[in-house]
Structures are given as C-alpha cells and as structure tokens.
Amino acid sequence: MSITTNSIEERLFNVWMNKSLIVEFEQWVYQSEELKEYLSADAYFDFLDLNYKSETAYHDLKNLISKEISISQFETWSLLHQLDCVKQRRGDYYKFIENFYNLDYYGYTFISKLSHDYSFYMNYPFGKYGTYDFNELTTFKQNELINEFYPSIIEAVNEVEQWLLNENVILLGGKKYFNDLKFIDHRALSETKKNHTEKAEKKWWRFWK
C-alpha cells in the first residue's frame, strides 16, 4: 500500500510516524544523493545541519519535513497506514480501529461505517461485555471482541482505501475539534447516499446484544 512511488517521500513519511527511525534516517541523509537532488540546496543543508542527537531533534526534523510534504499528503498517508495495519492485523491495529470513531466525530465522516460498525463497539463494549471501557476487559475478552470484526471489517477498509488512492476522497486535515477535519468528496452520489443510509440505519439493537 502506497500513495506515492517517490522513495524520498516514503522515507519522510516513515520517520515522521516512527521516532525510532531517526538514527537510521540521519545516516541516510548524509549518504543519499537522491535526497540532495530532491531538495533545494537550502532545504538539503537544513537536513544536513540538523543536530539529530539533541532533545528536540525529532520535533525539529518534523518541522523540516512539513516544509516538503503537504498536510493533505500526510493525512492521506497516515490514514492509509492505519487502514493497512487494520487489514493486516499488524502493529497497534486495535488502537487504529478504536480511533476511527474519533476521526468520524472530528469530521472524516466518510469512514462512518468503520466508526459505527466497529470502532463504536471498542469504545463502548457495554452491551455484551458489561463495561464501558475496552481497557477493563481481560486480554481474552479484548481479543474475542476484535475477532468478531473479522473478516467483515476488511471489506470496509478496502472501500475507504480505494476512495483515498483514487482521490475520490481528498483529505485536507484540520484541528481535532468537532467537525473540523475537512475533506473534498468526489465520490459518486450513490456511494455517499449509501454511506449516509448505513449511518442512519445504525443497528440500534446491538446496544442490547
């Protein structure tokens, strides 16, 4: 899964998401002719001149990267990364499932199916498990709950991935306040209607499951 064939951008995205890669990234900066060609002379010097061992190195590096890649690209790459982890059940995928509810609430309403059919039941597992907090469940119960999502969640993930990759949905980002995350919606009317219908027909009876 990739939103770009540009290996430089992939490197920048990866270190942005994973602080532990900063040591490897530093060595790559010093050795990469590709990076030198990709950046302006001033930007390249900034990456070379950065003190990668300082306490603020990661913050400073992210500031440099943000000058080279747009918020839209970051948002898209980040969400695609989360979706792929959920599909592959890799890394902190269960946290990403849980977070879909927040993203929907903040404004990315195109993921409402993931939010309402899956994430909601991680955030509020009361109906079947007798608690409002996923973290209060035993590991066995947590796994049992998440296992119920598969394989159906993969279809919902694939749908959102295709919208992003085909630029049917273009993320604009924003602050994480109610309805502040923005996106441009180029989906067909039938797809947006389906999205709203599924949300309206929320399976209310599952509260009592």
Residue 204 confidence (pLDDT): 36
Residue 14 burial (C-beta neighbours within 10 Å; 0-12, 13-18, 19+)? middle
| Residue range of the domain that includes 41 | 7-69
- Domain-embedded: residue 169: yes
Peptide bond into 151 cis (omega under 30): yes
Going by pLDDT thresholds of 50, 70 and 90, the confidence category of residue 135 is confident
Contact (Cβ atoms closer than 8 angstroms) between residue 181 and residue 100 = no
- Domain-embedded: residue 191: yes
Residues 130 and 195 in one domain: yes
Q: Tell me: the pLDDT tens digits for 23-38?
A: 999 999 999 999 999 9
Instruction: Please state, rounded to an integer, the average pLDDT across all residues of the chain.
Output: 88
- Domain-embedded: residue 94: no
- Domain-embedded: residue 47: yes
* 12-21, 157-166, 195-204, range with the lowest pLDDT: 195-204
Residue 128 vs residue 102, higher pLDDT: 102
Residues 115 and 202 in one domain: yes
How many domains does the structure of the chain reveal? 2
Closest by alpha carbon to 67, among 34, 44, 90, 37?
44
* 3-state SS class at 172: strand
Residues 50 and 122 in one domain: no
Residues 58 and 128 in one domain: no
Residues 110 and 22 in one domain: no
Residues 65 and 14 in one domain: yes
Residues 43 and 132 in one domain: no
Closest by alpha carbon to 128, among 145, 150, 108?
145
- Rounded Cα distance between 71 and 61, Å, is 15
- Domain-embedded: residue 83: no
Residues 134 and 198 in one domain: yes
List Cβ neighbours of 194 (8 Å cut-off, separation of 6 or more).
Answer: none
- Domain-embedded: residue 184: yes
- Rounded Cα distance between 57 and 123, Å, is 34
Residue 101 confidence (pLDDT): 95
Answer whether residue 160 shows pLDDT above 80: yes
Residues 58 and 125 in one domain: no
Residues 188 and 121 in one domain: yes
